[in-house]
Structure 1
């Protein structure tokens, strides 16, 4: 199901047919370095991961991390979306792209679409975001969106502390 569109992108729910793409995405060196290593090594594991991390959120929360798809050719580029994370008092935004699609403004465009969706469709007043301590590119993207750094804290599910950001909508 399509959630939103921007000038160059569609954001839609992931489906079981996206397991091969998700396997590739969660094994990108940038994902493993800046997010975590979920230990997903097969398409079956990717599908199980998607069920617990993506599909469950769609059913229970009505939102989650969505597939970022280029409108021009339908190529899957990554994910971006809105999530309620244990350890944060308010919902947060997250994003990740395949390395070959970084540096082209897709993450910023998708994130801007998600911020607008949070404000205009979901009626949220605040968004949070987290990054790895050394993820300068993500910090720069959050600054462009207007997020302000709040703290450094340990977030459940991450072995290292995270930088925590907040944006008033």
Structure 2
């Protein structure tokens, strides 16, 4: 088990690894993930291990951050992932998150997102974090607004129009 990177009152965030393949396979094939984030072509445990190796794990090595596993402290259940993603199509890292449907509506995305932003600004010393969201994903828009992110505008990504949100580090407004 990877050491805890970020602790919140209810959650632990730690690095994902290939041992999390079953979780990744389940999460990446939920209706919400497919609809709002996209189909990553993950259909087997081997696909999930490849996704983890080439996505989050490669990002940890290259950037010092990535999407992290979110585990509930009360029972150790893996409930989702949240973290920072570095995309060539964006000028700054962006906040990303996805949770299993059984754990939606419990404030976990907001709690994890706030912790990730705190880490981004406090530990990583980033001046700004972005977020991208499908225009019809009202739940994620509410989370981003709750976190204090402001809408920056619409931008095309891979042929899809997405809403872009931004938050500056304290003192960088």
Q: Where on the TM-score scale, by shorter chain, does this alignment land: which range?
A: over 0.9
TM-score calculated relative to the size of structure 1: 0.96
Structure 1 segments, 4+ long, off by >4 Å, are none
Structure-1 residue corresponding to 2:152: 150
Mapping of residues 82-161 of structure 1, within 5 Å: 82-155=84-157, 158-161=158-161
Distance 1:103 1:25 in 2: 16
Aligned equivalent of 1:69: 71
Residue 168 of structure 2 corresponds to 168
Per the alignment, in what secondary structure is the counterpart of residue 160 of structure 2? coil
Q: Tell me the distance in 2 between the aligned counterparts of 1:140 and 1:16.
A: 32
- Cα separation, 1, equivalents of 2:66 and 2:137: 22
Gaps of 5+ in 1: none
Shift of 1:154: 1.4
Within 5 Å, which residues of 2 pair with 1:36-51?
A: 36-51=38-53
Q: Which residue of 1 aligns with 2:4?
A: 2
Distance apart, 1:60 and its partner CA: 0.9
Going from structure 1 to structure 2, the CA distance change for 1:52 and 1:11 (only over 3 Å counts) comes to same
Comparing 82-91 and 97-106, the one that deviates more: 82-91
Greater Cα offset, 81-90 or 3-12: 81-90
1:37-72 Cα distance to aligned partner (Å, 9 max, x none): 011100000001111111100111110000000011
